[in-house]
Amino acid sequence: MILRLTNSKKHIKAKELKKLFSTYGVVSKIMRCPNSVYVKMQNDERAKIAASNLNGMNWKGNYINVSPAPITTHSPICRTSVGAIRLI
């Protein structure tokens, strides 16, 4: 399952994000976008628990929003100044 994290500080490193989410299960990929971060977890049930427990939490000075990424036929796409990147 892919989770979407919003309202985090821009300077947070992927290592810190992985540590936060790994508490709930195996993180297989992290993708940063301008306004959000996508976290791919191997186990859907553990991802749901992570979303439930982390949503609204004060983390590093911000109340973060964590929810399942919208279900589409494709994985999330991050549009950047250098092009589009897809989380696979």
**pTM of the prediction?**
0.82
CATH number for the domain harbouring residue 62: 3.30.70.330
Output the DSSP codes for 39-82. EEES-HHHHHHHHHHHTT-EETTEE-EEEEPPP-SS--EEEETT
Q: How many domains does the chain have?
A: 1
Structure tokens at 27: 């993180």
Cβ atoms of 62 and 9 within 8 Å: the answer is yes
Count of alpha carbons within 13 Å of 18, Cβ hemisphere only? 9
Q: Which whole number is the average pLDDT over 51-80?
A: 83
Q: What is the pLDDT of residues 47-62, one digit of tens each?
A: 999 999 999 999 999 9
Q: Which domain holds residue 53?
A: 2-86
3-state secondary structure of 15: helix
Cβ atoms of 2 and 87 within 8 Å: the answer is yes
* 82 pLDDT above the threshold of 90: no
